Amino acid sequence: MPRTVLYADDEPRFRKLVKDYLTKEGFSVTEVKDGKEALDVLSYQTFDLVILDVMMPGYDGWAVLREIRKTLATPVIMLTARDEENDELFGFELGADEYIAKPFSPKILVARIHSLLKRNKERISEHLEFSGIRLDRDSHRIYLDDIELEMSPKEYDLLTFFMENVDLAISRERLLDVVWGYDYFGDLRTVDTHIKRLRSKLGDKSGLIQTVRGVGYRFGERN
């Protein structure tokens, strides 16, 4: 299955160059012309990597990055025509993973992408552990204090996504898209019902799934 990339840039020649090159390298690329389109696509589809041009009209790359980091840990590469240290530091402070100045070699971009995806894969290991909960991807099992919990496939997927995104506020819409698929036509009560069941199975760890009023849920320790 090809790796998926979302590429936002208001310059058509760069979009074509990057898309053509990445497609030849085996990536599946979705291209958009501005930040608003990027956020629209991200509202219903997930990607392995996002590439953002900084200088776009309307929502610029910084604005899109801020919105991404509210709910997602997806790797993000920022592209800019300006090569200034302050810009680069600002991007990293907002949560960018890589920063590449234009013009750039497509080969260098591909090398950075492979390196970033490799690091991200290593970060998301076969085992996820948090506060006494251990999730084993290989065996598709979940343990609480070394006692195996019986989980439905959707409960397993929900907890996996939570444990991959600790302390991030995640909307019900986002959970519905990620766990059930963006073409699922159920309503948001499906998410709430499964969260209720998941909490009951986590017992005294149920408080790790926090309700964020007006948004959705957050997984993590209470401050």
Q: Which of 24, 74, 66, 26 is nearest to 48 (CA)?
A: 74
**112 and 44 within one domain:** yes
177 and 210 belong to one structural domain: yes
Q: What tokens appear for 189 in the block?
A: 């009560």
107 in the same domain as 40: yes
pLDDT score at 149: 93
Q: Where in the sequence is the domain holding 170, given as residue range(s)? A: 127-219
Q: Which residues contact 108 (CB under 8 A, 6 or more apart)?
A: 100
- Domain end residue (candidates: 123, 145, 165): 123
Q: Is the peptide bond before 2 cis (omega within 30 degrees of 0)?
A: no
The predicted pLDDT at position 189 comes to 86
Provide the strand spans (E) within 125-168: 127-130, 133-136, 141-144, 147-149
CATH number for the domain that contains residue 205: 1.10.10.10
What is the sign, positive or negative, of the torsion defined by CA atoms of 180, 187, 72, 60?
positive
- Is residue 218 within 8 A of residue 212, CB to CB? The reply is yes
Co-location of 198 and 93 in the same domain: no
Predicted confidence pLDDT, tens digits, the chain (223 residues): 678 999 999 999 989 999 999 999 999 999 999 999 999 999 888 898 999 998 898 888 989 998 888 877 788 999 887 655 556 666 677 788 888 888 888 888 888 898 888 877 666 556 788 999 999 877 788 999 989 999 998 999 999 989 988 888 888 888 887 888 755 666 788 899 999 999 999 999 999 999 998 889 999 987 6
Is the same domain home to 146 and 110? Answer: no
Same domain for 151 and 189, yes or no, is yes
Structure tokens, 162? 């939570």
Q: Do 94 and 144 lie in a common domain?
A: no
User: CB 101: neighbour CB atoms within 10 A?
Assistant: 15
- Look at residue 97 in the predicted model and tell me its pLDDT: 85
Name the domain count of the chain.
Answer: 2
Measured CA distances, 146 to 132, 151, 207 (Å) = 8, 15, 19
**pLDDT at position 182, please?**
59
Question: Are 113 and 137 within one domain?
Answer: no
The residue behind tokens 């006692």 is: 147
